[in-house]
Amino acid sequence: MNTAAPENPEAPKFSTAVVTAWHDMRDVLRVLFTPALIVFLILLALGILRVQIVPLTGLTAGQGLEKLLYDAVVAFLMTPYAIAVHRFIILGEQTMSYRITPAEPRFRRFFGWSLALSVLWDAPAALSVMLPALKDFLSVDPPFVLFVVLAGIVTVVAIRAIVLFPALAIDAPGANWRRAMADTRGHAWHIFFIIVGANLPLVIVAALPVLLRVNLGVTIGSDVYAAFGAILRLFIYTLAVVIASRLYQWIGIRVKERGSDS
């Protein structure tokens, strides 16, 4: 194990990273068409299910638990696709099937960290459910800033750990969260803007149904809207995975090293 950690290299320019992400997504959807199609169908089914179990407005404690279970299912079902995309971008491996293999250590490690990240993402929403109860119990009004701070911390952790997932997908021998955090030190804002910039066109597209309804009175049918949402989620998820893969290649030094610490 190396005792002296190397300096992090510079990440590519913002424009280069965004263009690369979209080119990578195009290649993934073309080459890994079968697993991408399966994931689209899964996202379509999950989107329909989500409307039934997780309302768009309001969130009780029971519904918070249902959302956590829903997110765990999503993380589990998306794991084969994410691993396949990471291995395609980094290793050039073309996976033509979608296989759920929880017995494999790679699958378990990747899903475990994905689940942990999902729990973190749900923590701010869970806190917002708890705030009224805390107000009654403590006879004080918990500041909304607590929710904002927690959401910010979760976002930072997610950004800083982004290179861990491709490392796990390709079985990098030194992959652990401490090394991933070290590799992304000083790059957090750059990574954040790359993610936002790459997803901006999809955010604009996602707003189209609302603009059509408000400005033209055009309402999209529920089935069409569900398919539209599934396609958007597939694009957003694929973009996130290819960005993580490229960041692993660009700045992932320590997380690639062989080591025994975890």
Alpha-carbon distance of 244 to 242, in angstroms, equals 5
pLDDT at position 158 is 93
In terms of residues, how long is the chain? 262
- pLDDT tens column, 110-157: 999 999 998 888 877 766 666 665 555 554 455 566 777 888 888 999
What is the SS3 assignment for 202-230? HHHHHCHHHHHHHHHCCCCCHHHHHHHHH
Residue 134: CB atoms within 10 Å: 14
The alpha carbon torsion through 38, 42, 17, 96 (nearest 10 deg) reads -20
Range of lowest pLDDT (5-9, 13-17, 18-22): 5-9
Contact at 8 Å (CB) between 179 and 260?
no
Burial class, 18, CB count within 10 angstroms (exposed 0-12 / middle 13-18 / buried 19+): buried
pLDDT at position 23 is 98
pLDDT at position 135 is 55
Range of lowest pLDDT (14-18, 96-100, 101-105, 175-179): 175-179
Mean pLDDT (the chain, rounded): 84
pLDDT at position 133 is 57
pLDDT at position 123 is 77
> What is the band of 259 on the pLDDT scale with cuts at 50, 70, 90?
low
Average pLDDT over residues 151-176: 92
Range of lowest pLDDT (124-128, 167-171, 200-204, 206-210): 124-128
| pTM for this model (two decimals) | 0.86
> What is the band of 214 on the pLDDT scale with cuts at 50, 70, 90?
low
- pLDDT tens column, 237-256: 999 999 999 999 999 988 88
- Written as six digits, the tokens of 26 are 């195009």
Q: What percent of the chain has pLDDT over 90?
A: 58
Closest CA to 243 of 173, 175, 192: 192
Over 90: is that where the pLDDT of 203 sits?
A: yes
Alpha-carbon distance of 201 to 239, in angstroms, equals 12
Alpha-carbon distance of 113 to 65, in angstroms, equals 19
Q: Which residue has the tokens 């750059």?
A: 190
Closest CA to 40 of 230, 240, 232: 230
- Written as six digits, the tokens of 179 are 């090394």
> What is the band of 211 on the pLDDT scale with cuts at 50, 70, 90?
confident
Alpha-carbon distance of 152 to 23, in angstroms, equals 30
SS3 at position 24: helix
Burial class, 29, CB count within 10 angstroms (exposed 0-12 / middle 13-18 / buried 19+): middle
- pLDDT tens column, 24-73: 999 999 999 999 999 999 999 988 877 665 554 445 555 667 778 888 99
pLDDT at position 19 is 97
pLDDT at position 172 is 92
> What is the band of 2 on the pLDDT scale with cuts at 50, 70, 90?
very low
Average pLDDT over residues 215-236: 82
